[in-house]
Amino acid sequence: MLKELKPAFVMLMALTVLTGILYPLLVTGIAQALFADAANGSLIEQNGKLAGSALIGQHFSDPKYFWGRPSATGPMPYNAAASSGSNLGPLNPALEAAVQARIAALKAADPSQIELIPVDLVTASASGLDPHISPAAAAWQAPRIARQRGLPLDVVGGLVAQHTQGRQLGVLGEARVNVLQLNLALDAMRR
């Protein structure tokens, strides 16, 4: 019986070392060498302080800031440990009520805005953590930001244009604006 157990134990140890130690070290080394920013969480610092990650949305409710997509994580918005969609179907009354409440909040924050509200301002992403909004959602909020900060609308629009990222590799996804980076740029204008 020892004759059969010895090769099994040797294989267990060999595969443990290979898949549990060597492979993770190799993958981590490659990630750190080639993609260090992403491998370390795409952290954003401003004035030597950690402001957040470019990959995880943050909750902004002050009218002088751009607001991101609603978060589906609970009970705290943009909780990376609870990433998930709401799992509410398009005919679910709870989803309709949530969207109507979001529309009402956006209209209350900017009663003079009469344009149609872009859908990404009232619906959560699949992960509930999306840090981006569409350029249309940023443009919709720009008049409120300009008024709140006492800035010309074209300055705020220019800032949105500067922070608009195109499609990945020119073909994947849609144009997008990172809300945290845009809000940090707004704050930097005051200095």
At 85-133, the pLDDT tens digits run 777 888 989 889 989 999 999 999 999 999 999 999 999 888 888 899 9
Longest Cα–Cα distance in the chain: 83
Judged against a pLDDT cut of 90, whether residue 188 lies above it is answered with no
The mean pLDDT of 64-73, rounded to a whole number, is 90
User: What does pTM read for this prediction?
Assistant: 0.80
The pLDDT value recorded for residue 4 is 85
Stated as kind and residue range, the H or E segment containing 52 is strand 49-53
Dump strand ranges (E) for 54-185.
132-133, 164-165, 176-178
pLDDT band at 190 (very low <50, low <70, confident <90, very high): low
138: pLDDT strictly greater than 60: yes
The Cα angle at residue 52 between residues 51 and 56, in degrees rounded to 5: 155
Rounded average pLDDT over 27-35 = 94
Half-sphere exposure of 1 (CA within 13 A, CB side): 0
- Decide: 85 and 124 in contact? Cβ < 8 Å: yes
pLDDT tens, residue by residue, 140-187: 999 999 999 999 999 999 999 999 999 988 889 899 999 999 999 999
Question: 41 falls in which pLDDT band (50, 70, 90)?
Answer: confident
